[in-house]
Amino acid sequence: MPDRRLQTDSLKPITLASLPNRPLVSILMSNRNYGSYLSDAIESCLQQSYEPFELIICDDGSTDTSVEILKRYQALDRRIQIILQASAGQAAALNAAFGKSTGEIICLLDSDDVFASHKLQCLVNAFRAAPGSGLAANRMLRVNGEGKYLAQIPALYQLPSGWHGPSLFLNGPRMLAGLPPTSGLSLRRSVAEAIFPLPSRLKTCADAVILYLGPLITPVVTIGNPLGEYRIHDNNAHARRGFTKEDVHKMVVFEGEVWRAWRRYLASASSGLGSDFPLLPEEAPSLLSYAYARFRSDPKYRAVYEAIPSDFLQALPRPYQWYWRASLLLPNWLFKRSFNFVCGQAPAKIIVGRVLNECRSRLSFRLFGISKRNRKRLKKDCHK
C-alpha cells in the first residue's frame, strides 16, 4: 500500500467563487422545546447591523410554546421563514433549513444562543478579506441559563486560522483544537454544500459534523472578538456534568457517523485525492471506543487503547495526551470520574476555565497596552 503520509499534499482546499458586493447571509436555526430562549435568539438576528439576510428556522416537533413564538415572528418580519416538522432530530431539521436557504454565506445559530448585533457585518468583512477561506470562526462568551458571563470560548487555546487539511485526515476525523461551538462558525455556500446533508441518524449534536469536516475542506479565517453568547443550561447536551455507559455508547455511534461523513468527503472528487488514494476501509479504534470499554468494565480495554493509531494520540494537545496515557493506570471507577471532568461541564472545570481565561485576558491587555477602560469597547469593534 502507498505511504498515505507522502500523499497528504494531494488534499486541496475547495475552490471558492468571488463574493458578490453585498452577499445574502442565511442564518440556519433548529429548535426543539427551547421556547424559553427562542425569542432572544431571533431578536439577536433581527437587530443585525448588516443587510441582507434571511433567517430560516426549523422546529423539530416542539411541545412547548415554540411554534406560537415562531408564527408570531414570521408574521412580523418577511426575512423569517419557518419549517414545522414532526420530531426527526437535529440533523433532519438543519438539512431542511439548509434546503430552503439561498445565501452565499451560511451561519448556524442554536436556538438558545445569541449573536452580537454586528456579527454578520464582521463575518462578511472577514470573508472578503480572506477570499480563499470558506470557514469563519469567532470567539464567543460562555454564559449560564440566566445570561451571566462564565468564560470566553475558546478558553485554553487560540482560535485556529489558515489551511489545516493535510494534518487532519490521516487514519480518521479529527477536530481542530480551538474551534468554537457551531454558533461561532460560518461557511461559504460551496463549503456547506460539500458537508450537507448531515447524517440523518444524528438526533443531537449533528452540527458538530461541521467542526470535523469544515477545516478539512477549506482554510479558516479567524475573527478575534466575541460575536455571540453560548448558553450553558440544564436542558442542553453540552451542560452534561456526568456520563453513563449509555451516554458514552451514543458518543461512539456519533463518532461512527462522523467517520462515514469524513470518508465520504475524502472519496469525493472535491477532495482532490483521486480514486486510487488508500483510504481506510473501516473505522480505526478511537479514544471513545476505549472510554466505552472502560465504562462497561471490559477487561480488554488496554488492547483497545493500544490499537488506537499513534499519530492520532500525538496530534492531541499535550495535556490531553498526558491524561489519556495516565488513564490506563486508573481503576474503572476513577476513570469514570476523570472522564466526567475532562469531557463534561463539571463545576470545578468551569471555575478553572474562568481563572485561566481571566489570566490570559489580563496578560493580553497588558502586552498590547490596552487599558481596562477600553476592554468593553474592544469587544464591540469590528474591522471595517
What integer pLDDT is reported at residue 369 of this predicted model?
40
Average pLDDT, integer, range 82-104 = 97
Question: Bridge-partner residues for 115, per DSSP?
Answer: 228
Query: The pTM is what?
Result: 0.84
pLDDT of the residue at 151: 87
Q: Name which of 167, 166, 174 is nearest 308 in CA terms.
A: 174
What is the C-alpha to C-alpha distance for residues 118 and 94, in angstroms, rounded to an integer? 24
Q: Which helix (H) or strand (E) is 95 found in, with range? A: helix 90-100
CATH superfamily, with its number, for domain 22-239: Spore Coat Polysaccharide Biosynthesis Protein SpsA; Chain A (3.90.550.10)
Give the pLDDT score at 359.
55
pLDDT of residue 236: 56
Mean pLDDT of the chain: 86
Q: Compute the average pLDDT of residues 271-299.
A: 86
Please tell me which residue, 302 or 375, carries the higher pLDDT value.
302
Residues linked to residue 106 through DSSP beta bridges, in sequence order: 26, 187
pLDDT at 366: 44
Segment 360-379 mean pLDDT = 42
Calpha distance 96→82 (Å, rounded): 10
pLDDT above 90 as % of the chain: 60
In this model, does residue 169 exceed pLDDT 70? no
CB neighbour list of residue 359: distance below 8 Å, 6 or more residues apart: none
Q: Answer yes or no: is pLDDT of 330 > 90.
A: yes
Spatial distance between the Cα atoms of 195 and 97, rounded to a whole number of angstroms: 14
- When pLDDT is cut at 50, 70 and 90, the band that residue 52 belongs to is very high
Residue 379 pLDDT grade (very low, low, confident, very high; cuts 50, 70, 90): very low
pLDDT at 361: 52
Q: What is the pLDDT of residue 33?
A: 95
Question: What's the average model confidence in pLDDT over 142-159?
Answer: 87
Q: Can you give the pLDDT at residue 270?
A: 86
Poorest-pLDDT segment among 16-30, 228-242, 342-356:
342-356
71-83 average pLDDT score: 97
Q: Quote the pLDDT of residue 46.
A: 98
E strand or H helix at 209, and its extent? helix 208-217
Among the listed ranges 42-51, 150-159, 307-316, which one has the minimum average pLDDT value? 307-316
Query: If pLDDT is split at 50, 70 and 90, which confidence band does 240 have?
Result: low
Coil, strand or helix at 161: coil
Average pLDDT over residues 59-81: 97
**Residue ranges per structural domain of the chain:** 22-239, 245-343
